[in-house]
A and B are shown apart, each in its own frame.
Chain A
Amino acid sequence: MKLNHVYKTFYPDSPKEVKALTDINLTFEKGEFTTLSGESGSGKTTLLNIIGGLDSATSGQIFFEEEEISAYSEEKMAKLRLHDIGFIFQAYNLIHVLTVRENIGFIMKLLKFDEKEIDDRIMELASILQIEDLLDKLPGEISGGQQQRVAVARAVASRPKLILADEPTANLDSKNSERLMNMLRTLNEKEHVTVIFASHDKYVLEQSKRIIVLDDGVVIEDR
């Protein structure tokens, strides 16, 4: 994934104008385990949303596997998100009318995976994430930590090429944070999934192979 001179301005040409990102030039290689870091309001979530096609850049180019996606229509972008990107949100964002099992298998169902393949994958992920007993429960019936594990399972179930995680540990205790990071690290190593976090959690930063620091919408460090 490559970002060339990406800018993002909220409320342009108005008194409320906010320059969220300025001239971002970044390249993410396959299998990276990277964290976008910075203070609140530094632009890390905005950048993550732009990478995932959830928000559009004001200007600049974004390439995914050599193809420019910055000019994609919403329909095409949704297709890209469905096939190639897995999302883990800070507030879990599970679908509340679906059980844990249905939430995990939801994207695979949309992608028309075989029923058996869906079941096998759900069981496999449930075992890794230790949520086998929760499969028939609704999100409202399980704890925050458990919901976040389900959100991770949903994000990785269809084996996307890229996983984007926005503050995934923000609502978790240290034990659950550790479990989540271990799981994502294992997936990254075993399945070569590219993982990009937006976080200022010390533990996440310690676990990351690459850290990009943003300040006021500008990349100030890339190590």
Chain B
Amino acid sequence: MYKISQHLAWLSIWRRKTRSLMVIMMIALSLSGLLGLQGLYDGMISHLINTTIRSDSGEISLYAKEYRLNKSLDYRLSPLSKFQDAFSKIEAITSYSVRLEKEGLIATAHKSLGATLKGISLENEQHFGQLDAFITKGDYSFGKGNKKALIGSSLAKKFHLTIGSRVIFTAQDVTGEINAISFRISGILKTGNPSIDDNSVFVSMEKMSKFLNLQQSATQIALRVKDPDSIGIVQKELQTVFPDVDVLCWDELYPLLIQMQEWMNIFNLASYAIVFIVAALGIFGVMLVSVLERMREFSIMLAIGTPYKTVRNQIITEASFLGFIGFIAGAFLGWIFLLYMSTAGVDMRSFEAGLELYGYSAVMYANMHLYYFFQAFFAVFFATLLSVIWPLRKLKKIKPIQVIQGKML
């Protein structure tokens, strides 16, 4: 008997091409929108994490105990060679960046503000997190004799600094003496990480060490780890080797970011749920109408003696087939959509100020994962199933002759 149901379902789909095409298109469009939104939301969050990891924390950062509470140079990592030896023995560590930072006062002829001066190696940072990719103006260079500096975009804006502008940085060295050093700006960085963009000036490690009267020392060593699953293992291993050092993951270093992310996740989840419900209702509605509008046809079949289960199987087969084709078309459309958004990005420059406030980039890139498509498949399956349950229950209850005579529906 199922063969007849299958045959009827197929004929119904094939001989009502426009209706079938409309149902498939509706499912495909809803689904591609759903996939696009999911990828974009995921992309926004990943971008935020990625930027933070690349520009500052790495997956893991090492600090001398107490340093994060009292940013004194007394709490520093030294000698560097013992750390470098340990890192070389851990295969999961792909790169690391040694940084020496000091809070102080940055000043121009017109203005002065608190800021952080960071000594880095440009070559290391390039390898570590492609810091050069964040340059928006000028060069990724400290110039001849390391006399120049890179500055965060927001900080540069506050001082109206451009390439070539001179700044003076004043801070206490390791002995407590107040020293001052002047730089010309060689490049402006925009990372999307507010702690860098609003507050940081980068100079060469050599210059910084000399300025602070320190050798072979760092305030932070940031590490990149091969894959996210090994972060915990590496953290544990380093903590065992260096029990007197704080070994912290990126999410421990940025609790505010995590909190913000959690809020965004809730917001994203709510938006995603709304879109999911709208898409599911769309699919449900189209399927429901396509069954209800043929109640008379099904009633005729029942009236002439067709068993209910034959009609039921026909409706389920038809809805499942349309749902599946709709899913294939929607997944393909969604894939193209995601591919475009993950490579070309979505330009949101008109909302730049608001997005930057939360650390989001003005050009958003979508993520693409296989599990989106599995989730989408279950969404379509669920909506399709739901859309036939109610009409089937109705069909089981009605008297076919009443529908045929137009007394019902």
* Residues of chain A having any CB pair with chain B under 8 Å: 49, 54-55, 74-75, 78-83, 85, 87, 89, 91, 93-98, 102, 106-107, 109-110, 138, 154
Contact = CB atoms under 8 A, between A and B. Distances in A.
Interface of B: 1, 4, 8, 11-12, 15-16, 297, 300-308, 310, 399-401, 404
B307 A75 contact: yes
Given A55-B401, A74-B308, A75-B308, A95 B301 contact: yes
9 smallest beta-carbon distances between A and B, as pairs: A82-B305, A81-B305, A54-B401, A93-B300, A97-B15, A97-B12, A97-B11, A49-B401, A78-B305
Contacts of B8: 97-98
Nearest to B1: A110
B303 to A, nearest CB: 6
Given A97-B15, A98-B11, A54 B307 contact: no
A138 B15 contact: yes
Contacts of A81: 303-305
Contacts of B15: 97, 138
Classify the secondary structure of B's interface with A.
Answer: helix
A83 B12 contact: no
Contacts of A49: 401
A45 to B, nearest CB: 8
B159 to A, nearest CB: 75
A40 B265 CA distance: 67
17 contacts: A54-B303, A55-B401, A75-B307, A75-B308, A78-B306, A79-B305, A79-B307, A81-B305, A82-B304, A89-B404, A91-B404, A97-B15, A97-B16, A97-B297, A102-B11, A110-B305, A138-B15
Contacts of A102: 11
A110 B307 CA distance: 9
B405 to A, nearest CB: 8
Given A93-B300, A107-B305, 7 more contacts: A82-B306, A91-B404, A97-B11, A97-B15, A102-B11, A110-B305, A110-B306
A110 B11 contact: no
Contacts of B1: 110
A54 B399 contact: yes
A171 B204 CA distance: 97
